[in-house]
Chain A
Amino acid sequence: MSTETVEREPASKIDLAPGIGGGGEIPTFDITLKVRRYNPEVSDEAHWDEWKLTMYGTDRVLDALHKVKWEHDGTVTFRRSCAHGVCGSDAMRINGRNRLACKTLLKDLDTSKPILVEPIKGLPVEKDLIVDMEPFFQSFREVMPFLVNRGHEPTKERLQSAEERERFDDTTKCILCAACTSSCPVFWTDGQYFGPAAIVNAHRFIFDSRDDAGDMRLEILNDKEGVWRCRTTFNCTEACPRGIQVTKAIAEVKQAILNRKI
């Protein structure tokens, strides 16, 4: 009978030089967070509040806002749902640029200066960082953002080639955060312009081979407040947290209207 020598597995099979190892300390740094506050129940004037916070290198602007709300001032009001860049609730103006607070790392900002957080522009502010999104969604609804198919309903899925799907792939990524529309100077003026987001979502169906209402959507966007108000300033493309080529999509819709009319 042989005695089995059980050799125990080492905790790690890699030898590390002394001094290296562990998860590593996450660097911390101090920031000044300035938030644009507005509460119509208290005052009609908006003002800035600021807090000095010690944050970690892995923290986002949203974490700083949470820290303020949970530890300093519970009245700070903002929207956020998933907190992971998918729901599109927490678009705000961070250092003058429209960003999702949940996708903007503090370490990527200039932490030597105060970090300015404001509500997105062009829509009525309701409280602090919350704006009335209803005008934005109204434009979205007007372009009929749903599949319209006049053919017989198939017994299985509606087939489409990979190329046909690729045609509108970019514009399927929209999460309706309003970062693009509220970065558009034309929209800021009077809020009449349909706005980049509505046009992107129209583009998603106009160029979908399964959809039959492209002409109706093009007619809607041929309005005087439609695609022709776009001045190609590229603010929307710069603001989109999903990296959608918004200005390109608008240009393609313009082209489609021209091709249809002429």
Chain B
Amino acid sequence: MANPVIESPRSGRVAPEYTRTGASKGNFEMLAWLFMRVSGIILVVLIFVHLWTSLIDGDGIKGVDFGFVAGKWADPVWQIWDLVMLWLAMLHGTNGVRTIINDYAEKDSTRFWLKSVLYASTVVIIVLGTLVIFTFDPCPVIDGVAHVAPYCPAP
């Protein structure tokens, strides 16, 4: 009679779903972690000053219209301010959602698709936002028709 073979308890069998594949090279996760902290602190300053100038200072919220925005963006300081705020907020938020996807998605394919949607929308919003900051026109002329508002110079 053949002796039944009992596997050694230390046979090094680790359930395959637990084995880490592909050791990551580089410091991406460390830099992402650091970026979240640094951008978070900068964003607190950027956002609260932005809220103050838009909603409280001067006419307050009643003063906010296309003219107000155009006036602000005529000043390069506010252009840079809003540009930095846009980029930092978008990258901060994207990285936050990226970590949430990593933490909650259980399948690699789910992860891939969720992240693809996330990165695509991030690129669209950053490009669109940057474009608007530098090309904003409060009194556009579309197909020869001027969209005149009270604050626009008379045509």
Contacts and interface: CB of A to CB of B under 8 A. Distances in A.
Interface of A: 124, 132, 134-135, 138, 185-186, 189-192, 222-226, 228-229, 231, 254, 257-258, 261
Contact of A228 (B23, B29, B106): B29
Given A223-B23, A224-B28, A189 B15 contact: no
Contact of A134 (B14, B24, B28, B34): B14
Interface residues of B, number: 22
Contact of A258 (B13, B32, B34, B105): B34
Contacts of B77: none
Contact of A231 (B23, B24, B30, B103): B103
Given A124-B15, A132-B15, A225-B20, A261 B106 contact: no
A231 B99 CA distance: 10
Contact of B103 (A135, A189, A254): A189
Contact of A261 (B20, B24, B30, B105): B30
Given A135-B18, A224-B28, A257-B30, 13 more contacts: A134-B18, A138-B18, A189-B104, A190-B106, A191-B18, A192-B18, A222-B29, A225-B24, A226-B29, A228-B29, A229-B29, A229-B103, A258-B34
A192 B20 contact: yes
A254 B33 contact: yes
Q: Which secondary structure dominates where chain A touches chain B?
A: helix
A39 B30 CA distance: 42
Interface in B59-106: 99, 102-106
Q: Which secondary structure dominates where chain B touches chain A?
A: helix
Contacts of B32: 228
Contacts of B24: 223-225
B15 A135 contact: yes
The 5 closest A-B pairs by CB, nearest first: A135-B18, A224-B24, A228-B29, A191-B18, A228-B33
B30 A191 contact: no
Contacts of B18: 134-135, 138, 191-192
Contacts of A228: 29-30, 32-33
A135 B15 CA distance: 7
Interface string B23-43: 110011110111000000000
A132 B15 CA distance: 9
Nearest to B18: A135
B108 to A, nearest CB: 9
B17 interface: yes
A15 B32 CA distance: 72
Contacts of B33: 228, 254
28 contacts: A124-B15, A132-B15, A134-B14, A138-B14, A138-B18, A186-B103, A189-B103, A189-B104, A190-B17, A190-B106, A191-B17, A192-B18, A192-B20, A222-B29, A223-B20, A223-B23, A224-B24, A224-B28, A224-B29, A228-B29, A228-B33, A229-B29, A229-B102, A229-B103, A231-B103, A254-B33, A261-B27, A261-B30
Nearest to A194: B20
